[in-house]
Structure 1
Amino acid sequence: MKQPVLASFYLSLAAGIWGGMYVVSKYVLDYIPPFTLVWLRYAIALIVLAAIAAAKRERPPKSGRDWGMVIAIGIIGYIVSISLQFVGTKWSNAHTASLITASTPAFVVLFARWLLGEALTWRKTSALLLATSGVIVIVGLGGGGESTLAGNMALVGAAVTWALLSVLVKIASARLSVLSITMYAIFTAFIGMTPMMLAEGPGLAASHWSVPVALGVLYLGVVSTAGAFFLWNKGMEMIDAGIGSLFFFFQPLVGSFFGWLLLHEELAASFWLGGALIVAGVAVAVRSEQSA
């Protein structure tokens, strides 16, 4: 059953958590290698979700089809997409990464049309254009440092795979609980990320631990991974995928705000104009969902 208001809350909260996550990640990554950090995030999230599933007596997927769907979500979204984000950001620049990442909702709309048969209405298109324009206003169209074709292609791949994840979650939620989907997909990713973590060399042994670093890792595992992944998947279950994807645009908005609040980064007038366009786009989309 569609519940656009509650879905909006879940998706806004998830995107907001991810937007603020970059401030914490920026600090923790000075002490822990990237793939080791992702592996730790998944390990902590898995413990949290498994405890909740045990308390609720959650049953695992039964059929091979259901297992295949959950494993696909884990591989496509939580291994491939996350890895491509790391590679793309390393070989590109933050400015280009922001613009390419902003294409994710457009890919969701296309996948939703293809796999779910969701209608591409003029309101949905208008909302997508408004929100995308907001991101472009915030980050600008000028250059932001060197980038490579390989890095940019990796970022496009990350956007496409995360979009596919969002649609696959909606398909899977018709047969499985969101808790099961999230937990077993993260378990798949935890297994898949283990070789990458080991390939980083010393990894955990070379990490410089302190109380702030440990708290940062816990926050990333419990809140940004277990909590936000569940909220995003739950929200996508309760609303059209094409509309739900627009809440992805809240990430750069919240990230910029926390950068100003905690890192004392300056906010130009373009931030407020772009933010208004993003909010307007999401509002148009949700209004169309309520009147549907």
Structure 2
Amino acid sequence: MSRRLPAIAPVAPLGAAVLWGGMYVVSRWGFEAIPPVTLAFLRVLLGGVVLLLVVRLREPTRSFSRAEWSRFALLGVWVAVTLATQFLGTALTTASQGSLLTVLTPVFTLALGVALLDESLSRAKVVGTGLALAGTLVVVAATTDLGTLDGGAGGGSLGGTVGGLGVLALLLASLGWALYTVQGAPLVRRYGALTTATYSTLFAVPLLAVGAGVEVVTTGADLGAISWTPALLAAVGYLGVASTALAWYLWYKGLEYVDSGTVAVFFFAQPVVGTVLGVLLLDEQAGPAFLLGGAVMAVGIYVVSSARGE
């Protein structure tokens, strides 16, 4: 039966994609100065603290059973897996290989939603997702060097091995976020987006702390040598507050109203937003192919988000 969705249903996940697209510009302002897993830890720690403060103000006395805590903890595992493999994969691959995260996450989410939650696979969802995927591929091709798929490490055997590990990490990151989305949906509809985003984020903090410690020991990174410039502090602040606390809440907020496959299609907007911000703030160029791909992607998102009874 058809039903009218509230305006927040498409606006929330689109807002999350916009905030994630902003990470592209932020990265150019210097947050690569911190080792990848350590950066992921700082991001989630800051985001978790912000979310917890808000939850405690809104729900100061709420408690959960052991079974409920275990479900939040599982989501925390997927958060940790996603961020660790995403940051490592990005560090080991080229920009074009990194686009795997954007392209495959919605595809994995759609498939897992059907398999694990028995979500419907309507014609509108298939067609819209296909259009969004095609448009995103055009955008990626128009804004990255697709001739550097050897791993970005010089083209030798080591480069190919490192690049292959990077691609594998990005595939795991895509799958991890898809599982975070799909397995979080029932909790979101029971406890709300804010509560679910908060406690799943907090459970990821100790896991990423261990990963950061292993990273420092194995790489010999000198954290004391990090130069905490205003740009770096702003970058970490954006990652923690905007692209974690706010964006993850908005992502889950969409799940309060529509299924995971519908929310996932908004993920395709991330590279388009990143490119637009690059043009506006970094004097980068975007040609007709980018505009065409962005338009096709927007049509695909509209088809999925406007479908009735999803």
TM-score normalised by the chain length of structure 1: 0.92
Letter in 1 for 2:147: G
Within the candidate set 129, 147, 150, 1:146 is matched to: 150
The answer to whether the Cα contact below 8 Å between 2:102 and 2:271 also exists between their aligned partners in 1 is: no
Cα distance in structure 2, aligned partners of 1:60 and 1:205: 39
Q: How does 1:13-24 map to 2 (within 5 A)?
A: 13-24=15-26
Cα distance in structure 1, aligned partners of 2:250 and 2:222: 30
| Secondary structure class of the residue paired with 1:119 | coil
Letter in 2 for 1:65: A
Tell me whether 1:176 sits opposite 2:191 in the alignment: yes
The answer to whether the Cα contact below 8 Å between 2:197 and 2:249 also exists between their aligned partners in 1 is: yes
Q: How does 1:4-19 map to 2 (within 5 A)?
A: 5-19=7-21
Letter in 1 for 2:25: V
Cα distance in structure 2, aligned partners of 1:225 and 1:68: 22
Gaps of 5+ in 1: none
Question: After TM superposition, what 4+ stretches of structure 1 lie above 4 angstroms from structure 2?
Answer: 58-61
RMSD after superposition? 2.0
Letter in 2 for 1:280: V
Give how far 1:4 is off: 5.5
Tell me whether 1:267 sits opposite 2:294 in the alignment: no
2:55 corresponds to:
53
How many matched pairs? 290
The answer to whether the Cα contact below 8 Å between 1:31 and 1:209 also exists between their aligned partners in 2 is: no
1:88 corresponds to:
89
1:136 corresponds to:
137
1:44 corresponds to:
46
2:37 corresponds to:
35
Tell me whether 1:280 sits opposite 2:295 in the alignment: no
The answer to whether the Cα contact below 8 Å between 2:135 and 2:292 also exists between their aligned partners in 1 is: yes
2:173 corresponds to:
158
Give how far 1:50 is off: 1.6
Distance of aligned partners of 1:186 and 1:130 in 2 relative to their CA distance in 1, 3 Å threshold: same
The answer to whether the Cα contact below 8 Å between 2:40 and 2:84 also exists between their aligned partners in 1 is: no
Give how far 1:139 is off: 1.6
Listed one character per residue, the Cα deviations across residues 81-102 of structure 1 (whole Å, up to 9, x for unaligned) are 1111122223322102214530
Listed one character per residue, the Cα deviations across residues 100-159 of structure 1 (whole Å, up to 9, x for unaligned) are 530111111111111111111111100011000001111229433422332222221111
Distance of aligned partners of 1:49 and 1:4 in 2 relative to their CA distance in 1, 3 Å threshold: same
| Secondary structure class of the residue paired with 2:299 | helix
Q: Which range moves more in the overlay, 209-218 or 139-148?
A: 139-148
Cα distance in structure 2, aligned partners of 1:40 and 1:22: 18
Cα distance in structure 1, aligned partners of 2:124 and 2:281: 36
| Secondary structure class of the residue paired with 2:59 | coil
Letter in 2 for 1:143: G
Listed one character per residue, the Cα deviations across residues 10-64 of structure 1 (whole Å, up to 9, x for unaligned) are 0110000000112113323243222222222222212211211121124555222
Give how far 1:253 is off: 0.5
Cα distance in structure 2, aligned partners of 1:6 and 1:51: 23
| Secondary structure class of the residue paired with 1:102 | helix
The answer to whether the Cα contact below 8 Å between 2:128 and 2:304 also exists between their aligned partners in 1 is: yes
1:252 corresponds to:
271
Gaps of 5+ in 2: 152-162
Q: Which range moves more in the overlay, 129-138 or 51-60?
A: 51-60
Cα distance in structure 2, aligned partners of 1:122 and 1:149: 35
Question: Percent identity at matched positions?
Answer: 34
Cα distance in structure 1, aligned partners of 2:61 and 2:193: 12
Q: Which range moves more in the overlay, 218-227 or 27-36?
A: 27-36
Letter in 2 for 1:273: L
